[in-house]
Structure 1
């Protein structure tokens, strides 16, 4: 017996040593991955990504509460997306003339005022119209679009860790925004009015992050002079004093770009080219991106946003058969579950990659067909199965998004990569806009069908 006990002790000790060794290796790899990262930069950009995008998510989560059951929720989606999309198209040609510190104040002001307008507008149950709410949503959307454009550009001065932190923050915005809204208005019982008023204070965190958390020494020398740049082939924006190959700049080290890098070569080659030649070159690049990358992303975004805005408001069950006390609780819960799936899949590329982008896109279309058929014929027996499908929907949407850019990074030549990554982002915005238009008619059709067949849940106001 003592011998057996000794063997057990030895086995336990060996297991503990093995676990300790695994943990040490993991810690070493984690430390190596973040070697050289400035915690203040990472925190600041994570907060930029979170706050810039979280109001967009909150507005979409509140769509049912803002416009009521009689107005298609696609109206909210379009008001939340189109101004941002237009801003991204136009602002690059003039926004560089505005210093970053001024932009941050403007973004915070527009976002806060927009959310205050939405929050203070009379609710549809009190006879209020949606026009003032739409005006507030447009203000917040303008801020979101210009903010994304500016903060992604700001990463130029702070290196790759700032870009990684920004991406993580935007992913967290979906999860935190949808989850917090569902928690506040359902579980905690706060009114929509109070919840939106609190959200109007969030842009103050953006201001604090810029002026208190972010080290701004890299910006001072740049913003003290004329902040001008040229548009070069590849869609990149390069400051004019970067054209001086002989002069070294202090902030070059932040990106680690050498004088022999493809970006430098592209600048040199394109100095003598006309904008017509550059446009033709970029159109040829887009043609090569369209089928392998842009179409699957466009397809998955159309399908998932039609589900979210056109089908989800009609995926209702009797309250006695659900965990909710009010019909309005279904929609924000679906959105929160969807965002969990998106967040998980957007974080998946270090662990799992897919190369066939069309497969998950087509599976998303299957989700759209399945949930539309259920809205018509009511064959899914419980809301818990719908929760699973919505979670799966989020996984598919996120995995197409992140793997599209990963595939571009792997398959597109380095000299074309920057333009290709930027150009492909048009697909998600275009998909959301198309889905917004489709979902307005989709929801009306499904709700009318349900009412005509004795299920009037979609017309309930609470």
Structure 2
């Protein structure tokens, strides 16, 4: 009973002590009786702390807000810097490839091989499939920096080779063009894989750059050719673009905050350790996680079901099944747009176009190439405005354009001026569909939740290989059409 009474009697005292502590009063010493002097010091310190606490908190909040603003500014600067870097990389990765396409008709004519223009197009992508497959293999053995250097070296040798091919022969021109195309394919697969460590918005920067390569490459060729420069001189002048490409990657581009997300040991080998880091680096709040890739596993994938890693050919086949939808649609669109923009564009005005009194008809092939690349630039820069998930709709639209262009060439319905301007407009539409397919396909791949993060780079490489299949198919189609129903048009 007395214990209960004492406890009851002590309760108000404890409350008073608590109140004293809140006020920083002398009761604080009795709560911290380490020593009389120390207790007094603590009491005085407590009084000072509590009396000035609100001001300290305000100062800390202001300092924290200032640091946050500085950090936000730094991130904004880094974001724009990386956007520009990927824009430059996209531009100069594809610049030489576009110049070759723009020069195809002139190069073929210089070797009296007009009927083999499709072969020049094939040479531009001939090693593309091999280059992309080699890049997927090199991901386990070479750093991204080393692979970018390989792309630059291939481009430099290719430019120089085309420049001197007039003194060697048509076969040497084909070989050199193959190096230029291999550089573009290798670099594209490498840098698309590198983008997995950055926000999805930078895929749009890369896409805009590749679109600018189309416009810039064709415009530069058209301007220099109009100024009287030969094909050899134009390709010599293309060499400095290799230096800009290297500068953009090695010097200007800010590397991801977590090197482990892209290291050879973790990122390229598909280690599970960096999956969360890669996810955080890649996505932002404005980007939805999509589930497009089929994540269904067949009876032969028991090891994956049980969480055991698969390797080699088995892993490649599993990833290939995941991205079949992307690959087939991308290849179909590339096949249609390359048949249109190369073979059908070359015959769009018939064999008398060179003698036409109209400047636009005489230069219709180069202008059509520019129109196509202009459409590609617009649509590859539209990712922040237009996002397409059902990419098969773009496939259907591009196949309709193929049918329309084949009809135009066979019938000669739009020969001469001013009808040639209708062709220019239609070619812009072809570029719009093609560029929209490209940028949306790879943007969707970076956020598709049906693809494991450890397999994402391999899946991107596999889809990029479908591009080469589409272009090679287009080259073969161009050759068949030139020797059959379009033989009278050139």
Same fold (TM over 0.5): yes
What secondary structure sits across from 2:116 in the alignment? coil
2:410 to 370, 373, 376: 376
1:42 and 2:72 are equivalent in the alignment: no
**2: distance between equivalents of 1:115 and 1:184?**
16
Check the 8 A contact 1:41/1:158 in 2, yes or no.
no
**2: distance between equivalents of 1:376 and 1:48?**
39
1:273 and 2:313 are equivalent in the alignment: no
**1: distance between equivalents of 2:401 and 2:367?**
18
Change (3 A) 1:171 1:72: same
How many pairs align?
392
Given the two structures, how large is their TM-score scaled by the length of structure 2?
Answer: 0.68
In the TM superposition, residue 130 of structure 1 has moved relative to its aligned partner by 1.2
What secondary structure sits across from 2:331 in the alignment? helix
1:387 to 391, 409, 424: 424
1:297 and 2:330 are equivalent in the alignment: yes
**1: distance between equivalents of 2:260 and 2:393?**
48
Change (3 A) 1:409 1:110: closer
In the TM superposition, residue 178 of structure 1 has moved relative to its aligned partner by 1.5
- 1:367 corresponds in structure 2 to 401
**1: distance between equivalents of 2:394 and 2:148?**
37
- 2:170 corresponds in structure 1 to 130
Check the 8 A contact 1:341/1:391 in 2, yes or no.
yes
Check the 8 A contact 1:337/1:390 in 2, yes or no.
yes
Change (3 A) 1:100 1:283: closer
Change (3 A) 1:271 1:238: farther
**2: distance between equivalents of 1:96 and 1:150?**
12
**1: distance between equivalents of 2:460 and 2:138?**
22
Change (3 A) 1:270 1:332: farther
After superposition, residues 181-192 of structure 1 pair within 5 angstroms as 181-186=221-226, 188-192=227-231
2:242 to 193, 203, 213: 203
**1: distance between equivalents of 2:321 and 2:260?**
38
After superposition, residues 351-366 of structure 1 pair within 5 angstroms as 351-353=385-387, 357-366=391-400
What secondary structure sits across from 1:202 in the alignment? helix
Q: Using the TM superposition, name which of 146-155 and 191-200 deviates more.
A: 146-155
- 2:129 corresponds in structure 1 to 85
1:213 and 2:243 are equivalent in the alignment: no
After superposition, residues 338-357 of structure 1 pair within 5 angstroms as 338-353=372-387, 357=391
- 1:13 corresponds in structure 2 to none
1:56 and 2:100 are equivalent in the alignment: no
**2: distance between equivalents of 1:424 and 1:101?**
22
Instruction: Flag structure 2 segments of 5+ consecutive residues without an equivalent.
Output: 1-71, 291-302
Given the two structures, how large is their TM-score scaled by the length of structure 1?
Answer: 0.71
Of structures 1 and 2, the larger Rg is shown by 2
In the TM superposition, residue 271 of structure 1 has moved relative to its aligned partner by 6.0
**2: distance between equivalents of 1:306 and 1:369?**
11
2:340 to 307, 322, 325: 307
1:121 and 2:165 are equivalent in the alignment: yes
Task: Give RMSD over aligned pairs.
Answer: 4.0
2:192 to 142, 152, 174: 152
**1: distance between equivalents of 2:441 and 2:484?**
33
Instruction: Flag structure 1 segments of 5+ consecutive residues without an equivalent.
Output: 1-30, 230-235, 451-457
Check the 8 A contact 1:301/1:397 in 2, yes or no.
yes
2:119 to 66, 75, 89: 75
Check the 8 A contact 1:227/1:239 in 2, yes or no.
no
**2: distance between equivalents of 1:207 and 1:59?**
21
Check the 8 A contact 1:311/1:446 in 2, yes or no.
no
In the TM superposition, residue 447 of structure 1 has moved relative to its aligned partner by 4.8
Q: Deviation string for 1:266-288 (max 9, x for gaps)?
A: x99876234376456445535xx
Q: Using the TM superposition, name which of 438-447 and 49-58 deviates more.
A: 438-447
1:142 and 2:182 are equivalent in the alignment: yes
In the TM superposition, residue 222 of structure 1 has moved relative to its aligned partner by 9.6
Check the 8 A contact 2:97/2:181 in 1, yes or no.
yes
In the TM superposition, residue 396 of structure 1 has moved relative to its aligned partner by 2.2
What secondary structure sits across from 2:126 in the alignment? helix
- 2:28 corresponds in structure 1 to none
1:398 and 2:465 are equivalent in the alignment: no
What secondary structure sits across from 2:208 in the alignment? helix
Check the 8 A contact 1:117/1:133 in 2, yes or no.
yes
